[in-house]
Structure formats: structure tokens, C-alpha cells
Structure 1
Amino acid sequence: MNGLMRVEGGNPLTGEITVRGAKNFVSKAMVAALLGETPSRLANVPVIKDVDVVADLLRLHGVTVDHDADAGVVHLDPSDVESAHVADIDAYAGSSRIPILFCGPLLHRLGEAFIPDLGGCRIGDRPIDFHLDILRSFGAVVDKGVQGIQISAPRGLVGTLIELPYPSVGATEQTLLTAVRARGLTELRGAATEPEIMDLVAVLQKMGAIISVDTDRTIRVEGVDRLDGFRHTALADRIEAGSWACAALATRGDVFVRGASQLDMMTFLNTYRKVGGEFDVRDEGIRFWHAGGDLDPIVLETDVHPGFMTDWQQPLVVALTQATGLSIVHETVYENRFGFTDALRGMGATIQIYRECLGGLSCRFGRRNFFHSAVVSGPTPLRAAQIEVPDLRGGFSHLIAALAAEGTSEVRGISIINRGYENFLGKLEALSAKASVGAGV
């Protein structure tokens, strides 16, 4: 895919698109297949770059991966799992942070694992150390070298007690994938309970794991000696569904998102209605549309599930630039997620960001010098601009802004969006968007 898109904005998005399995679940379920002694089958799999990266990493470790893209089905056979060459794994270091989640399964299957110097998160940074500390608590031995991290389990892995200071999705996934075949009981306190986590728990239970989830965010895992493969259909991608819903709102459009699930989007739907968007829940999906008239400003705080998801925040902020009045958005999940607003201001939006907690409660980023609150004043007409895509979610939000703006925008680096949004060019065409891909950097 070329890196430059020209978008003629000011036209409502109308029509129907389909969302398939959640990016934040599918890749983890594919890794979980490593734990099984028999083949697995995963359905509702999207065609996105992250799936390709994980599939290639699995193949490097001897897993047979057969992806029927049209049917959305992946078959995974781990019967010939083996160690991969360091150089081969390192080739994917900049493409994904998924390799860190291979550790637990590989320690159980091979007794060792290797993690390259991960792109976007250098060796020794706190996020990586957080995962390594979890592995150490199970009894893993971690050796950091020039090329990456070598991990071994000479005495096997043993259940442990882990208390998370914050309900981290990645840390919860790491613990689950490691605990299911560790000897004895593992207790994880302060766990993340997002729908994607619960779908991973469902997959592991199908494989033979014994996992209980309490209402106080405590997950208990009784380790078992053996796991088999699974047959599972992935839950729909609620982030993508919300993104297209916000696009409908920002462009005064009407979009039916086939595959969207009300149960996983209830918090989003409440907020969408407060802003002035309309929706109609059907068995096969959800229709989202702009009801006409003025949109309403809101006060919003992101939070871990069941709160308002941080990945919904960025596309919604674009829609809030068209609301009448002042909206306040307090980001409590990621400390630096308002960088994408620079481009919106360049398009005419009135957005101010602050270090202070502007929500109802102070959060862990208060007094730490992070710009994690925003005040959005509207409505402000957006005008076309030249935009550089910064990251996956911010990039799609910039694309929404270009679709809502008057004039023709040039959006560079759109290949990043392909990491998490399946066939977004085809979906834009299905929604009658006036966009074309050309030569670019």
C-alpha cells in the first residue's frame, strides 16, 4: 500500500461496512495456540498487518499457520514447535511488541525463549521490565544481552502471587499465558478485565485451563500439565466499530457497522447518545448516524473497562470539534495521547491541552508533568491540510478529520492504519468517501 492518500472532505459517510475480530484479541489467541498439544482453529480473523506479523513469528517457531483470508479463518498446528534463529526473530523486532507474549508459552514448550530488542520500546524500559518481572516471579531466569533477552526455566515455572499497581492489559495477558501451565496456583490481583481479556480466558478454558475471575479484579489460575487446541470465533473489534461510528458523527453521515456488538460497546453507546449521535442496535450489527442539529459538548474521562476506552477517545475528539460549546476530556489510561491534536489545531480546531486532571478525580498522571487533559471548543469548521500519520489510532482520527474537513487533504503514512483496520480503503469506498491513494513516502 502506498503511503499517501488524498481525501476530499465535507461529504457524509453513508453505507455499510463490516468489522471482524478484535485486533487486541486475535493476535493473543494465536499466541495461545502455542500452549496446545493439538491444532487450533480461530474464526472471524481480520486481514491486518498485526495478524501477518504474529503468523510469521509462529511459523519461525515451527507452527504451521494456514490463513484463509476470505473466510477469516486461521488454522494453527503447534505439533512441531522448535527454537527459532535469533536473526530471524530479530527481523520482526520493529513490527510488533507481541514477541514478549511468546515467552510463557515457549518456556512451557521449549524451556527457553528469546526476545529481540523491541521496536518502540528499548531494552530496559519500564514496560518491558514489567513483563520480565512477571516472568521472574514464575521462576524464569532472565539474561539481557546485546541482541536481546534470553529467558530460560531450568526448573520449570511455578504458580505465584502477582499484584498489579494498575489493571494493565499486557501484564494480565502475560500472566494468563504463563500461569495456565505453571505448577500450582497463580493469583493475579488488580487484573484487567476488558472483553478481549475475557475472550482470551474463554479460549484458554476451551484448551483445558482452570481459570476463575472474581468481581474484585482477582484472577486465579490452577496450572495444568497439558492443554489441547481450541476452536473459537473472535469477538468483534469494538475499537474499529467505535471509530467508524465517530466518523459517521463527524461527517454528518449514516453508517451501518455489521458485526458491531452492543454488549462490548455499552459505555461508548451511552456517550455517543449524550453527544447527540443516534444508533440502532440490530442482531447483525449497529447503525450509527448524525441526527441533525447541533451536537452537545460533554465531560469525559477515559478509564479501564468498564469505563470509556482510551482507544475511543481520539476519534470522538474529532467529532467533539463539531459540538456546540466546551467539552472536557481527561485521559487517565495513557499519559501522552493528545499529541494527535496538533494536526487538528492545524485544521482549525480549537483544542487546549493541560497537565492538570480536569476530570472528577485525580489520576496517576496528575503532578507528573504529562499533558493528559483537553478542552475542546466548538463548533469549528475544519479545513483541509497536509497530515502525517503518527500512529495507528491517532492516524485513523486524522483520517476522520480529513473526511470532515472542507477541501482536499493529503494524508501521509497511511500504511500504519493497516495494522489495525482491515481493508479500510475498501470500506471508505463502500461509504462513498472521496479518497484516492497515490505515490508518497
Structure 2
Amino acid sequence: MTFKIKKLLIGAIALTLTAQPIAFSVDDIPVQNIHAYALYDRDADLFIDTMNASTPMGIASISKLMTAKLVMDDLKNGTIALTDQVPISSNAQSQDGDGMRLRAGESVTLDDLFHGMLICSSNDAAVALSEYAGGSESTFVNRMNSEAKSLGLASAHFVNPCGLTEYDENHDTKPDQNNMSLMDINRLADQLLTNYPELTKITSIEHWQYEAKGLDKKNTNQLLWLYDEVDGLKTGYTVYAGYCQIVSATLCELQVDNGPFQSIYGAAPLSTVDDSRHIFASVLGAINKTNRNNTLKAIINHAKSDMRVYPITDSQIPLYTDTSRNFSIVPTENISLFLPKDAEISFQLMIDPIWQTTSLIAENTNVGKVIFYNDQAVYTEVPLTIRMLAPDTAVLGDD
């Protein structure tokens, strides 16, 4: 670990670096038979390692995450309810895949359809939900694309709510398919779980019984059986997209390294450092299930064994103190980074000069930010604020 300490910078000085995937080299992740992969730290909103993650490509049933979001939005708004009886159309029945074996003319509870879509990746359930929530499948697909635009998912494009490949009358693959970059998939999944964390109560179910038809459906996410930390999220496969998956996991009892923090402050953090981390591991275009699972396992194992939690700011400890005017400059929140043990971290303070040009120093005034980065990209930015000192208070970090 290298930690470079930069001197205090005065004025509006901008780094030329921009936020982007850090892309550390991980030698043991099998990349020969996949199109893209990513390791994403939800807590820091940081892509730690990626390959081809910004390239739009087929996503198969991962499309159902957007379908799930819109359904959850409608449930929250009260326009639909889990107890609603959803009529099944011939269009829903006609969808490929084993699914829930829905038949036109019957009615199924929305709750059952939602479970079937997320646990056993039922295409008929996804279409039935789209028709009920949207009025028609095409109207719902328009909502999917509008929602993607509003969320800033520039690579996202949907032509159906389930992710099946679209074919023309000659059974040739149409050029227009469900596509998205892996980075945007991770952002969508993060939005979904941030707004609806209860969703993992469904996606973590290993076996689900659809009693109305005597079906015992196994979750398509095989990593649920391999890692206690995994709680979802979504698999997918079509010939067009290959084998795809995004996995949600909460890693606990990770190793914490206070070395970089002590290099700044000369002391350990005063606040308790959380040794858990919420991550996504994701793959697109794997050649088969085994290759998909092996890649995901390698990403998760790397995160568990080769990475460290590095506290970098503590709102109780100032980064600058002016004893003559009785105030300090502190980060607004406690932040840690989840990075490989050999990562480089540098920082710079970007301070608004207003605190030097006026005698009016007020508590909680925003005075700039501290930026943490390496030589390729910015890790994160933390706002800085004024904190007034009690008289005769000794403070770590005195200037």
C-alpha cells in the first residue's frame, strides 16, 4: 500500500482525473470464455475491477430487474397490490421457457407471479406482470426505456420485459434486442436494492413452491448454495446473450487496514470502522453455466481474501485546524474504501478560500472537499465543513 500525502490546496483547483473503474489486475479471474465482468462496491459506489463493463451487450433475463423495479414502484404507489388477481393472456402463455406453466384465461396472484419471475426466471410471469402493470406489454416496455433514461442508464435498451431473444418471421435474430452495459446493470441493481432492500427476501429463496400447480422451483442462482453471504440477484441465458448473472453479497469480518488513515492523522480512527461490505459480482456472455459460476466465484473469493477495508475519513478528526480563529475543517461523514491490499491511495484537499477572506466563520459551512485517487482514477470525494472548537481544545491535525 502506498499512501501519498498532499499539502493543503487553496482555491478551486480541479484534478484532471475522472471517476471510472479502478480496474486492478486480478490474475486468477477466468476471462477467456466471457464477454464482460465487474466487481462493484455498493458502499462506496465504486467499480473495483472490470473487463468490457462499459460496452452494451445482450443481458437476457437480467432484463427482469427493470421489470421488477417498475412493479415495485407501482406497489409502492398503490396502483397495484400483491393480492391482485392477474389475468393471464395468450401472449403471456406463449413465452418460451418452463416458467410457471401459465395458461390463458386463468388468474394468478401478483405475488406468485413476482416470485416466479425472480426465483425461477419465469418469462410468462414477466410478461403477465408487464401487461397488468402497463396495460399492455408494449406500453410497459416504453416505461422500461423511459425509466432507464431517467436513471441515467445510457446504454440500456429494452424490447421486451423478460429478456428473450426477438426473432423475425424467418426465425432470424432481429438486430433490436435487450442490451445494456454491465456498469449500467450494476447501477440499476443498486437502485433497486437501495429503494427496495426487502427484495432479497425473495431472491435468496433457494426453493419456491407454486402450490396452485404443484411446482417446486429451484432458484436459478446456484451461488446461493455456495456462499452464505450471497442473497440474490438475477441470472440469465439466451443464445444471443450467453450466460449472464449479477450476484449480490454482503461480506463480513473483512480485514481492516488503518495504515493510510494513520499516515494522515497520526492516530487510528475514533469512530468504529465497519468491517462488512455490500458488493455485486457480475458476468455477461459466459460460454456455459460452469464458466459463469467459476468467474463469479473467483470474483467473490478475490474480494474476501485479497482486499482490505481502508478507513480514509472520520468526521470526529479534522483535516485542518485554525487555532487563531477557533475552528477546524472536517469531513462530513466517515468513509472507507474497499481495495486490494496493494492499491495506491493519494489525496488532495480542495478548500474554498472564503474561510480565509472573511471573519464570519459559521458552523457547518461547506468549504470544499477531499479527493482520494490513484494515478488513473478518482476513488471518491468527501465534502468538507466548518466545525467550531471549544476554547482551549487540543485537536488532532493542528496546523
- Bin the TM-score by the shorter chain: under 0.3
Name the structure with the higher helix share. Answer: 1
- State which structure, 1 or 2, has the greater radius of gyration over its C-alpha atoms: 2
